Amino acid sequence: MRELFEKKVNIILIVIILIVAILVIIPASSRGCVTSTSNGEIVTVPATPDEATEDTATEKPTKPTASEKITNSKVKIKKNNASNTSTDKASTKSDAKKTSSKTTSKTKKKTSSQVFATAPKVENKASHSAQWNAGYLIAVDGPDTSYYCGHIELSDKDRELLEKLCMGELGSGGFTGAALIAQAVKNAMYFDGYTSVQAVINNYHYTGRLTTPTQRVKDAVIYVFDMDKDAIQHRILYMYNPELMDDGFSKFHESQRYICTYQDVRFFDR
């Protein structure tokens, strides 16, 4: 009976030893190579660098992280932008050449061999300060000191039409530009007897758009018609802008008496 008991104990001890050995050997083998010394001890040896390199080389490629994807996208965008920029620059240069060609073409078209009229030379030039002090907005070397234009009353309808006309014809010239147009219309009504602004537009062939006026334009009409002031000390009846004509020249206007130019618009008396 005792022998049977000892055998069972030995078997249990052997089983326990085997279990312990398995628990010790398996984790050690997972960390590196397993070997044994001469005295029977079990030790672990770390994997060599070559083995580590081999394991790394055979690993499956990992998927890029979210941050790596964003970085890659930015790189692609930069490359695309660089490509687009070079394309845009080439396109811009091409457009610039086309624009330059068109501008040159227009300039050539408006260049005329005709001689533009000039104001008659004056030996004794008039005082510009005296003209400005008298309320004239533009001073010339040879003003007409005998020039006089009487008062003309504007109806509400004529005033509204004249303001729009002054804005459309030379509103870019501000107060002075509008005053020149207003004086030309007033001179036509006073010297040629037209009784309405519309009649002047029709007979003098004004082609400017009727545009909503600014306050400066309205003030210019008041200055000329209500205050009986003038933009220049000379009668003016005709005007045109060579820049807006196909050939850049009007034979009719240039045959008149040239008075002055303001912002490319040339003014004449007959």
Write out the H or E segment, with its range, that includes residue 266.
strand 265-269
Q: What is the pLDDT of residue 1?
A: 61
- Rounded to 5 degrees, what are φ and ψ at 34? -105, 135
Model pTM score: 0.60
DSSP structural state of residue 172: G
List C-alpha distances in Å: 18 to 14, 21, 157: 6, 5, 120
- Please, what are the averages of pLDDT over each run of 10 residues along the chain (270 residues)? 68 80 58 41 40 41 49 46 50 50 47 83 94 97 97 97 96 96 98 97 93 96 98 97 90 95 96
| Distance (Å, whole) CA 72 – CA 211 | 56
* Helix ranges (DSSP H) in the chain: 2-31, 49-57, 66-110, 128-133, 156-170, 174-192, 197-203, 215-221, 251-254
Q: Are 252 and 112 in contact (CB under 8 A)?
A: no
In the chain, where are the structural domains located? 2-53, 128-269
